Amino acid sequence: MRIAQLLSFLVILLPAAARAASVEMMTTSGCSCCHAWARHLHAAGFEVTVKDLAMGQLMRAKLDAGVPATLAACHTARIGGYVVEGHVPAREIQKLLTERPDAIGLVVPGMPIGSPGMESGDRREAYEVLLLKRGGKTEVFARYE
């Protein structure tokens, strides 16, 4: 009994990011950049489950999650009560889970070269990680040059 109480107490003390390290990624089968992004998250300590969907189902899941079509990328993930759309770096997800802003989640629209999962040698495109707020509004969460 005492061990169970102690374990329950320790779980309460764990930071939200540690408790929410499980990611469910939705994508279409055969998307190699999506699987590369999943490996990036795994290397950062996240436990990633991949769910392959038909394109129509994936688009419906994005819209249901609050991701506007104009911000859509090739995969959508859920973690810690948030949505993560596209090639968002693991460090920004960790920051999101630590800060816990009132938002839907994070978005990297499109597929910028050099973002996690979209590596191509030394080529890099500048891109922004956007904080997606309710009502579809966004603000810059991080910039990558």
Token readout for 72 is 């859509």
Work out how many domains the chain is built from and give that number.
Answer: 1
Which residues constitute the domain of residue 62? Answer: 15-144
What's the CA gap between 124 and 66, in Å, rounded? 29
For residue 20, give the nearest of 100, 132, 85, 134 by alpha carbon: 100
Q: Which has more confidence, 75 or 17?
A: 75
| H runs (alpha helix) in the chain | 2-13, 16-19, 32-43, 55-64, 90-99
Of 36, 72, 27, 77, residue with least CA distance to 54? 27
pLDDT at residue 21 tops 50: yes
Alpha-carbon span 135 to 14, nearest angstrom = 31
Task: Report if residue 6 sits inside a domain.
Answer: no
Cβ atoms of 107 and 65 within 8 Å: the answer is no
Residue 80 above 50 pLDDT?
A: yes
User: How does DSSP assign 40-52, residue by residue?
Assistant: HHHHTT-EEEEEE
Q: Which of residues 5 and 125 earns the better pLDDT score?
A: 125
Residue 107, in any domain of the structure: yes
The model's pLDDT over 24-76, given as tens digits with 9 standing for 90+, comes to 999 998 899 999 999 999 999 999 999 999 999 999 999 999 999 999 999 99
Note whether residue 83 is domain-resident: yes
Residue-wise pLDDT tens digits, 84-131: 999 999 999 999 999 999 999 999 999 999 999 999 999 999 999 999
Encoding tokens for residue 119?
Answer: 């590596």
Tell me if 109 is assigned to some domain.
Answer: yes
Is 132 inside a domain boundary? yes
- CATH number of the domain that 57 lies in? 3.40.30
